Structure 1
Amino acid sequence: MNFLSKTLSTLTGTSIPYTVKEEIPTSPKSIWTVYNGLNPKGDNSPVSIFEMNLRNDVNINRNYVSLARNCFKKLKLVKFPGIISIIDFIENDNYLYIITEPVIPLQSYLKQYGNEVGDDAKIYGIYNIGETLDFINMKCQCVHGSLSVYNDSVFVNKLGEWKLFGFELLTNLTSDPDQPIYRLSGYSPSFQDELPGDVLNQGIEAIRGFPIRFDSYKYGIFIHQIFNQGIDFNNIGKMPKQLSVQYKKLINPKLNLRISIQAFLKETGKFFESNKVIQFNKQLEEIQFKNDFEKLNFFKFELSNYVGEDIDIKFPPGFLDFKLLPELINQYNNLLKPNNAQQLVEDLQQRQETTSVLLNYILKFGVKLNKDEFCLKVKPIILNAFQSADRSIRLILLTHLSSYIENLTEGDIQSKVFYNLITGFQDTNFMIRETTLTSIMIIIDKVSVKQVNQDLLKVLAKSQMDPKPSIRTNTLVLIIKISDKIYQNSKNNVLITALSKSLRDSFIPCKMTSLSGFEKLINEFSLEEICSKILGQLAILLMDNQSYKVRKEAKRIFELYLDMVEKHASTLPRSENEDDEDAEEKEFFKKYAPNNNGLAQQVSQASQDVTQASKFNFGWGMVNKLVASSEVEGELNNDFNSSTPDLTRVTTPTISNKREPATSFANDIINDDDLDDGWGDELNNLSLQDKPSEKLSTIRSTTRVPTKTNNNSRKTSSLKLGTKKDTTRKPPGSTLKLDLTIDDDVEDGWGGW
């Protein structure tokens, strides 16, 4: 851009203290070349630069010089709000320069904004131009003579205000010796357009009798051009009907019947005064003359009549952004200044309420500014307002957050917004909490990973238990959204904990959100986590008694996770040589079984029976078979007697002076038809190859039968050793060889364990 500026400066041969930028397209009938520019003396504020080349050798352009000099001169003399604002005049041997506020031609403005310029805005512009011409005609005693949409005699500034230019033929009817309207009109490229019949017939001298009525005709044609594209000026077309009668008076072909612009404005006064844009503009112009109380009332109560949410007024593009907004900012800053200590409480409250109203409008219109202007005018207000403890201020900031977030940098968010923002989670007003939560979702991309893990997760953990169901649900949504920013070493634990907690929530949308989260994050979890932590949690909702929709969705998500596990399981190796579950038992037989064919066959048959019956049915039944077939005093008996007793077996105690062989003891117990030891048929079903002989004397034992409560069913027996009763109770060394004395007075059903 600097290169372009230098190039343009070289081409124009200028050394003016302004930065010349790109050229603005203008009408072919304009004598000026117009550029955008910057004013280095005004902090590089934008300007428009009108340029006229004085050294051009083309004759027609040499005639333009006189027109340009008259415009240059008259703009210095005539000042009015409706006239384009002049910043500087520069004249040298080669060029004339008029430095103005930044503007664009009206014709370009109407094309650029199209339907954005509604009838209200057009009427506002027509009214401004009419008042300006009336001032020139009546107060200045001058005739303008060049008004038209198509010759760039009207420009529009960034406030949407229509400003009069085109002073090339401006003539003072009483004191102008040059009388440009008569002397130079023939050089004007646009003068011959839209002339009244009297001038066409009699020439320029026809306007001498009523010069200002020439401006009346031009003004009437200008109004027609605003609303219509055609040249049939007798057809009002899209022009408002309220103007039609007075419009025809402006363009009356008879000069003596043609009304002045002043008369036109007077006759249409009610129509223009009813226009909301015109009304609001007058209010803004008068606000600076009102006292503080009147200003507060206007912004608090009357402003909404023009810019409220339900008000359908099409203001000119730029009007609210550049005319209303600066006044709002000025009033807002004034309200924030320290107040008088003796100020009434009611007045203080009103100022606080007005402050929130003003901030709402500042944000509403400020977001339409370009980024540079926003950062200069609105951004400081936002960052300062986040420090306020006022709920209404906080709520307004959060409500508009999505509209201005793009204009805040990561540094702004992390250092000046985030920590103030999360304090809203502690507010007792649920609206503040909920809006705060929603706002976190908006700024999360600009929040640092450290802030997420050290600060945000803590408040979200509490927010997940909020009494408001929507807050709990949105909290989970946020946790899912920020999952990529959670530290990797704690990420899955945080997610599983948060999602699982919401599965048990009573609010159905919260459950559905949790299920959705499990589906979205399915690839985040390991198979171990799925099996140990997730499937069990999902299974809870398979029998949810609140909603069929929840059960159906839970089943679908459960199957997704289960399929992942089964898919992985299918990839595991399959081999017939897998570890034998009965390896320990087989090793036991191999070590202790006798080396005779009969016993080997017996052991083999027993092993097959066990295997066929159940993988887990080896137990003491097999041991009894093995021991019953082994040598009494062999290695097996010795090892078995020193092993750990089976605490799950209800043993049948016996007392003997002489230890009988283990084989005879086991055979006698199994063969005793009258013995009931509480084990049922488990022992009776054992099959032995050889039926043992009866070698033991009658054994009486105490047995408890659960279904009988008769005391007579309890039988107590004891074997006496001589005449002395052995009262010593010893824990069994083996389930096969017991040496116990049963005390008649003791009976607990578990053999004393």
Structure 2
Amino acid sequence: MDFIKSAVASAISKGPAFGYTFGDRVDIDESIWTLYNGTKREDGSKCSIFSFDITANKSRLPLARNALRKLRTLRHPGVVKVLDTVETETYIYIATERLTPLSWHVKRKSLTEETIKWGLHNIAKTLKFINADATSIHGCIRPASIYFGESGEWKLGGFEALSSMKEDDAVLPTYGSIIPDSNRYMAPEVSKGGWEVIRQNPIHVVDAYNFGVLIFETFNGGFLGSDQLGQMKSIPPSMHQVYKRLLNPSPKARMSVGQLLDQGRRIGGFFQTPLIQVTEDIESLGLKGDTERDDLLGKLDEVADDFPAEFFKLKVLPELLKSVEFGGGGAKVFGTVMKIGAKLSDEEYDSQITPVVVRLFSNPDRGIRVCLLDNLPLMIDHLPQKIVNDKIFPQMVTGFTDLAPVVREQTVKAVLTVVPKLSDRIVNGELLRYLAKTANDEQPGIRTNTTICLGKIARNMGANTRGKVLAAAFARSLRDPFIHARSAALQALAATSDLFTEDDCASRLLPALCPSLIDKEKVVRELAQKTLDIYVARIRKLTQAYPDTVPPSPALNTAGGNPAPRMGTPANDTSWAGWAISSFTNKLAAASGEIQSGSNGQAPQPRPSSVPPPTALKADKPGPSNLKSGMTLTKHSASIPAIVSPDPAADFGEIEDFDDGWGGFGEDDTNKQEEDDPWDEPAPSASKSSAAGTKSYDDQGEPDFAGWLAAQSGRKAKKSPLPKGLTKSTVPKTAIAKTPSTRPAVGARANTTGSTATTKKVVVPAKKVAPKAEMKSNEEEEDGWGDAW
């Protein structure tokens, strides 16, 4: 074998340039040619090379040259395709498409009946062309002259004896006897009278007889001699009649191959098989109507197992792609394309299907777009990431804003398929902006699918983006009137619980989840309970490692190193009322404006900012009367906003505007929270406050602190009772000076340098609104009041 390759290589080096490389030798039946597998040097494509050694077979050189000349000039779809030829004094090379000998499959009996009929049909069409149109005789019809082409179709070769009877120097009458194995396939009249007899008979008689022998050999797996031709057991019964007529001993009565072809194509004929019909109709697929196209595709699915895989790749697939792109094939044709594409290699897929898919995504037809999105899971593994990012996704996003709801819905569903191939920049930017719009779609199904989509692509988002986007999106879906949207939000929250921090779980997600516990739908309530348990378990696990209390900051310690005393519940009073009274008294003492010196003459210890200073009490009379006299409240300016408890029926979700996206994907979280803080709303007007103050308040048996304090202050004027939260009433423009228990107005600074419990005279404008920051500080100090009640 190595010797043959080296001999061939040396012969090529001495002759004309031949742009093909020899590979393995292919075993074939007796022939004047030696067949090799080869490759084209330019692009590495596969081919076959027929080699004829002139020095070794000089007697058969006329047959080799005749084959070379006929293959160059004869062009037909059923004839072996020639790529290049070279002829020198020592050799003849013919490079053709990659071929496989039919004799291999015939000997193994690996061909089905339908496949054999399909192959015989192709050879019959080629022979009809040679006999009728080219007025020639092939003279060598047998399995050794027939090959499987690249598409799996049967191709006719063996043109060594191809002769036109119009030529005086026809090869067949002269050299027919030296054709390899000619005696076994020789027609009866030639056996009796020699090859010159063919000039006296019709052109088709020799080829018709050989075609009859071919039928016998392909169905029986071999042929030894003419004595076997009467055994028709393996031949389909529908072909018995034409088989006998092909082998008729009388040349004048012998059926031509063209007549066999016409009879087989009749209704109910042996050539009326789905495989053959698909082959003939596939070329005109783009011209067929919807009904005819559907019928053809149905037949194509039925015979898919009988067709060679190469036939689908090289013959059926190109026609289907043309029908989808230009012939209006639609979803059914594209579905068949995807079935064939699943059998292609990556290189074949990139060269045949990917360019068409990219062009189809830019097609404005909605039917094609929906078809592409439906079949995207079958394509995505074959599509390179660069193609998806640069060419497919920019066209795909137009479906998010399409007028047809079905296109929008399919686009949202397709995100799950395409997101692994998208870059982080696209996922965290453009994709989320489009999903923010579909989350507010008018169609409830699209909103629901968007929520599901966000839950499934959560781990593809950036760590800095997913928290605020998912929290805002799921909170919006929890308020959706569509039950399935709410259910999807709860399930998505449960599935993505590990992606949120414990702070977000406690401050953002649990408040949004709680209203679902009283949802009108039982399914939602049950899901809400399960989801809530997941988040509470996370928070409980975190707080298990927390200390019981947090020590004060070192900055608050005194110079001597002793921490300031903590204000809390008295040790001898564990009731709720005792805590409330002590806390309330301490807060009132903080309004005196001065810090009393210690009884031992030492400097007062600094107090924590969260603990109010003690109240200045009169020392002349011990007992409860002194305590009462030191707790008179001074009215403050009306400009200080009252602490108004939020309406429990109000919908907190309305504070977050979801129509503008999910909080702006690049905005600062702190600013957003400040903008959305419900507690930063301005105070209600004075008329509303006074109206609210006239409501009766049930003290539930608790001490009347408002009346008690008013009685001790010496004021007998009519005063409205304090509502819950101790809403402050208006004060005169000029605060009363030197009132021991006067609390400084907002914006006034307490005098802490003196030793007497006096307050500086402060003038507060009647209608001036305090700055927002100071308002917050005052409200923080007064939180204990509202909480105590």
Counterpart-to-counterpart distance in 2, 1:114 and 1:155: 15
Match of 1:545 in 2: 520
Match of 1:124 in 2: 118
Match of 1:434 in 2: 409
Counterpart-to-counterpart distance in 2, 1:171 and 1:615: 122
Match of 2:621 in 1: 661
Match of 1:218 in 2: 210
In the TM superposition, what is the alpha-carbon distance from 1:332 to its structure 2 partner? 8.8
Is the contact made by 1:395 and 1:432 (CA closer than 8 Å) also made in structure 2?
A: yes
Is the contact made by 1:109 and 1:156 (CA closer than 8 Å) also made in structure 2?
A: no
Match of 1:247 in 2: 243
**Closer, same or farther in 2 for the Cα pair 1:488/1:237, shift >3 Å?**
farther
Match of 2:573 in 1: 610
Match of 1:619 in 2: 581
Match of 1:483 in 2: 458
Counterpart-to-counterpart distance in 1, 2:538 and 2:109: 58
Is the contact made by 2:331 and 2:367 (CA closer than 8 Å) also made in structure 1?
A: no
**Closer, same or farther in 2 for the Cα pair 1:357/1:440, shift >3 Å?**
closer
Counterpart-to-counterpart distance in 2, 1:79 and 1:389: 41
Structure 2 residue 419 is the aligned partner of structure 1 residue 456: no
Match of 1:93 in 2: 89
Counterpart-to-counterpart distance in 1, 2:627 and 2:204: 143
**Closer, same or farther in 2 for the Cα pair 1:297/1:618, shift >3 Å?**
closer
Deviates more, 1:488-497 or 1:505-514: 505-514
**Closer, same or farther in 2 for the Cα pair 1:401/1:236, shift >3 Å?**
farther
Deviates more, 1:126-135 or 1:321-330: 321-330
In structure 1, runs of 5+ residues without a counterpart are 288-294, 336-352, 580-590, 593-605, 625-633, 647-657, 670-704, 708-730
Counterpart-to-counterpart distance in 2, 1:7 and 1:516: 74
Structure 2 residue 301 is the aligned partner of structure 1 residue 307: no
In the TM superposition, what is the alpha-carbon distance from 1:457 to its structure 2 partner? 0.6
Counterpart-to-counterpart distance in 1, 2:9 and 2:711: 121
Match of 2:690 in 1: none
Counterpart-to-counterpart distance in 2, 1:236 and 1:429: 63
Which of 483, 499, 513 is the matching residue for 1:524? 499
In the TM superposition, what is the alpha-carbon distance from 1:453 to its structure 2 partner? 2.1
Counterpart-to-counterpart distance in 1, 2:52 and 2:316: 35
**Closer, same or farther in 2 for the Cα pair 1:499/1:63, shift >3 Å?**
farther
In the TM superposition, what is the alpha-carbon distance from 1:130 to its structure 2 partner? 1.6
Match of 1:32 in 2: 34
In the TM superposition, what is the alpha-carbon distance from 1:425 to its structure 2 partner? 1.0
Counterpart-to-counterpart distance in 2, 1:365 and 1:618: 76
SS in structure 1 opposite 2:712? coil
**Closer, same or farther in 2 for the Cα pair 1:297/1:194, shift >3 Å?**
closer
In the TM superposition, what is the alpha-carbon distance from 1:358 to its structure 2 partner? 12
Match of 1:84 in 2: 80
Deviates more, 1:172-181 or 1:454-463: 172-181
Which of 71, 74, 87 is the matching residue for 1:75? 71
Counterpart-to-counterpart distance in 2, 1:622 and 1:371: 78
In the TM superposition, what is the alpha-carbon distance from 1:214 to its structure 2 partner? 4.7
**Closer, same or farther in 2 for the Cα pair 1:49/1:179, shift >3 Å?**
closer
Counterpart-to-counterpart distance in 2, 1:420 and 1:622: 66
**Closer, same or farther in 2 for the Cα pair 1:228/1:616, shift >3 Å?**
farther
Match of 1:16 in 2: 17
In the TM superposition, what is the alpha-carbon distance from 1:261 to its structure 2 partner? 2.7
Match of 1:156 in 2: 148
In the TM superposition, what is the alpha-carbon distance from 1:427 to its structure 2 partner? 1.1
Q: Which amino acid aligns with 1:37?
A: T
Q: Which amino acid aligns with 1:123?
A: K
Match of 2:714 in 1: 740
Give CA-to-partner distance per residue, 1:692-746, whole Å, 9 cap, x none: xxxxxxxxxxxxx999xxxxxxxxxxxxxxxxxxxxxxx99x9699362647xx5
Using structure 1 for the length normalisation, give the TM-score.
0.64
Q: How do residues 247-326 of structure 1 correspond to structure 2 at under 5 angstroms?
A: 247-251=243-247, 259-270=255-266, 271=269, 274-275=272-273, 278=276, 298=288, 302-307=292-297, 312-314=302-304, 317-319=309-311, 321-323=313-315
In the TM superposition, what is the alpha-carbon distance from 1:246 to its structure 2 partner? 1.6
**Closer, same or farther in 2 for the Cα pair 1:75/1:615, shift >3 Å?**
same
SS in structure 1 opposite 2:100? strand
SS in structure 1 opposite 2:93? strand
Structure 2 residue 405 is the aligned partner of structure 1 residue 443: no
Deviates more, 1:396-405 or 1:416-425: 396-405
In the TM superposition, what is the alpha-carbon distance from 1:33 to its structure 2 partner? 1.5
- Indicate the structure whose relative CO is greater, using CA pairs within 8 Å and at least 6 residues apart: 2
**Closer, same or farther in 2 for the Cα pair 1:512/1:154, shift >3 Å?**
farther
Which of 141, 147, 159 is the matching residue for 2:141? 147
Is the contact made by 1:328 and 1:361 (CA closer than 8 Å) also made in structure 2?
A: no
Is the contact made by 1:49 and 1:100 (CA closer than 8 Å) also made in structure 2?
A: yes
**Closer, same or farther in 2 for the Cα pair 1:213/1:456, shift >3 Å?**
same
SS in structure 2 opposite 1:610? coil
Is the contact made by 1:366 and 1:374 (CA closer than 8 Å) also made in structure 2?
A: no
**Closer, same or farther in 2 for the Cα pair 1:160/1:619, shift >3 Å?**
same
In the TM superposition, what is the alpha-carbon distance from 1:145 to its structure 2 partner? 4.0
Q: Which amino acid aligns with 1:565?
A: I
Q: Which amino acid aligns with 2:439?
A: Q
Counterpart-to-counterpart distance in 2, 1:171 and 1:109: 29
Is the contact made by 2:176 and 2:195 (CA closer than 8 Å) also made in structure 1?
A: no
Is the contact made by 2:474 and 2:489 (CA closer than 8 Å) also made in structure 1?
A: yes
In the TM superposition, what is the alpha-carbon distance from 1:488 to its structure 2 partner? 2.4
Q: Which amino acid aligns with 2:40?
A: L
Is the contact made by 1:300 and 1:357 (CA closer than 8 Å) also made in structure 2?
A: no
Counterpart-to-counterpart distance in 2, 1:177 and 1:317: 43
In the TM superposition, what is the alpha-carbon distance from 1:176 to its structure 2 partner? 6.3
Match of 2:441 in 1: 466
Is the contact made by 2:185 and 2:213 (CA closer than 8 Å) also made in structure 1?
A: yes
Match of 1:722 in 2: none
Counterpart-to-counterpart distance in 2, 1:369 and 1:749: 85
Structure 2 residue 159 is the aligned partner of structure 1 residue 167: yes
Counterpart-to-counterpart distance in 2, 1:662 and 1:736: 20
SS in structure 1 opposite 2:213? helix
In structure 2, runs of 5+ residues without a counterpart are 553-563, 587-596, 605-612, 630-695, 699-705, 730-789
Corresponding pairs, count: 604
**Closer, same or farther in 2 for the Cα pair 1:536/1:265, shift >3 Å?**
same
Deviates more, 1:557-566 or 1:451-460: 557-566
Counterpart-to-counterpart distance in 1, 2:721 and 2:482: 54
Structure 2 residue 522 is the aligned partner of structure 1 residue 560: no
SS in structure 2 opposite 1:441? helix
Q: Which amino acid aligns with 1:740?
A: G
In the TM superposition, what is the alpha-carbon distance from 1:490 to its structure 2 partner? 2.4
Using structure 2 for the length normalisation, give the TM-score.
0.61
Counterpart-to-counterpart distance in 1, 2:106 and 2:221: 12
Which of 469, 474, 484 is the matching residue for 1:494? 469
SS in structure 2 opposite 1:436? helix
Q: Which amino acid aligns with 1:164?
A: L
Give CA-to-partner distance per residue, 1:123-154, whole Å, 9 cap, x none: 333122123234444555654343333x2x11
Counterpart-to-counterpart distance in 2, 1:706 and 1:135: 109
In the TM superposition, what is the alpha-carbon distance from 1:460 to its structure 2 partner? 0.2
Match of 2:543 in 1: 569
Q: How do residues 623-702 of structure 1 correspond to structure 2 at under 5 angstroms?
A: 643-644=614-615, 661-663=621-623, 665=625
Deviates more, 1:300-309 or 1:156-165: 300-309
In the TM superposition, what is the alpha-carbon distance from 1:532 to its structure 2 partner? 2.2
**Closer, same or farther in 2 for the Cα pair 1:29/1:481, shift >3 Å?**
farther
Q: How do residues 166-205 of structure 1 correspond to structure 2 at under 5 angstroms?
A: 166-170=158-162, 175=167, 180=172, 183=175, 185=177, 188=180, 190-191=181-182
Counterpart-to-counterpart distance in 2, 1:87 and 1:67: 20
Q: Which amino acid aligns with 2:52?
A: M
Which of 117, 124, 133 is the matching residue for 2:127? 133
In the TM superposition, what is the alpha-carbon distance from 1:206 to its structure 2 partner? 12
Counterpart-to-counterpart distance in 1, 2:370 and 2:184: 57
Q: Which amino acid aligns with 2:240?
A: S
Match of 2:51 in 1: 51
